Amino acid sequence: MRTTRYTLLALMLAFMLPSCSQDPANSLVGSWTSDASKSLESMRSIAGIPDETKAYFEKDFFGRLTMVYKEDTYSAYLQGEQDIKQDSFPYKIVEETPDYYVVEVALLGTKFNKKLFKAGACYYELTSEWNFREYFCKAAVK
């Protein structure tokens, strides 16, 4: 009888503990900040980008954008402009593999998919007509 009670208690705890976890089901949830050094390194590795365009990207372009993902909405803000009202936009992950996310977003009434490639504690998107990588790294939880 005593063994049965302990077994039932152990089973109850086994089913309850996962639901008490603080980890979101969606691994994209959190704040992701543009990484200037990784993004610039990628840009500089691509041949054929005009010097004028490179100069534009090298002048404080990367490293200022933060993407904040919640379970089904995201918002973005630029460093130094947090006082501007942040709009949230719907999104959903339509595919996730160990290497990437495919995310469906809607902007101005148009839905489209974008691919976010996983890179350790970061992800990157292919940016511009030259398809270099803009990296976003997960912000530390405070």
- Domain ranges in the chain are 25-90+119-138
Q: What is the mean pLDDT of residues 39-53?
A: 96
**Mean predicted lDDT score pLDDT of the chain:** 82
**Block residue for tokens 């405070």:** 142
- The whole-number pLDDT of residue 3 equals 42
Top pLDDT among 32 and 140 is at 32
Kindly list the distances between the CA atom of residue 100 and the CA atoms of 50, 57, 93, in Å, as whole numbers in the listed order: 29, 25, 10
**Residues 59-101 pLDDT 10s:** 989 999 999 999 999 999 888 776 666 788 999 999 999 999 9
pTM assigned to the model: 0.78
In sequence order, which residues have a C-beta less than 8 Å from that of residue 135 and are 6 or more positions away? 34, 35, 38, 39, 42, 119, 122, 123, 124
Phi, psi (deg, nearest 5) at residue 131: 55, 40
Q: How far apart are CA 41 and CA 72, in angstroms?
A: 32
Query: Would residue 30 be called left, alpha or beta, if left means φ above 0 and alpha means ψ between -120 and 50 degrees?
Result: left
- Answer yes or no: is pLDDT of 20 > 50: no
* Secondary structure string (H, E, C) spanning 26-46: CCCCEEEEECHHHHHHHHHCC
Q: How far apart are CA 115 and CA 30, in angstroms?
A: 17
Q: How far apart are CA 31 and CA 76, in angstroms?
A: 9
